[in-house]
Amino acid sequence: MKKGFATIEFGKKPKKLIDLSNKKKLEQIVNKIPKDKDSLFAFPVNWELAQKANLIESKIRPWVTARSKEYMGTEEPMFINMVISRLKKKESAKKIMKKVKFVLEEDTEVFVMKLWRMMIFQLLKAEAEM
């Protein structure tokens, strides 16, 4: 009978293990975010934390860039910069909706709701220091 040996593979990165406690925390954060438009837009935004944690540039800009490609077929720097500048000016979701309506037309409400959900998610995540 042959003895079994473990195969050792060098040069491969270990698979990332999922931290179940983080997954549960993320689910709890997602569950805190309102789903209906009125409650979502009324959710208090911690603009100070957004600025301190650089969330608008580090998390929201890449998200807006990806949505630009999704909705318009290409990255539209003017659109992206307009949305980001509005967030940096601490404008409400309703004001942002009015500004992007001329570009996104019927997709405006869905885009701004997703934007606001992403903003709140990133803020809650930063508050939880994840």
Position with higher pLDDT, 79 vs 20: 79
- Read off the pLDDT of each residue in 106-129 and give the average, rounded to a whole number: 95
Find the mean pLDDT for residues 23-46: 93
108 pLDDT higher than 70? yes
CA distances from 19 to 16, 41, 74, 130 (A): 9, 31, 35, 12
Nearest to 67 by CA among 58, 55, 76: 76
Q: What is the mean pLDDT of the chain?
A: 88
C-beta of residue 53 within 8 angstroms of C-beta of residue 126? yes
pLDDT at position 20: 62
Could you give the residue ranges of the DSSP H alpha helices within 11-92? 20-32, 37-42, 47-52, 55, 61-72, 77-88
Domains of the chain: 54-127 (1.20.1390.10)
* Confidence at residue 10, expressed as pLDDT on a 0 to 100 scale: 54
For the chain, give the percent of residues with pLDDT over 90.
77
Confidence of residue 21 (pLDDT cuts 50, 70, 90): confident
* Cβ-Cβ contacts under 8 Å for 122 (sequence gap 6 or more): 50, 55, 59, 60
Separation CA 70–CA 28 (nearest Å): 28
Instruction: Encode pLDDT of 46-75 as tens digits.
Output: 999 999 999 999 999 999 999 999 999 999
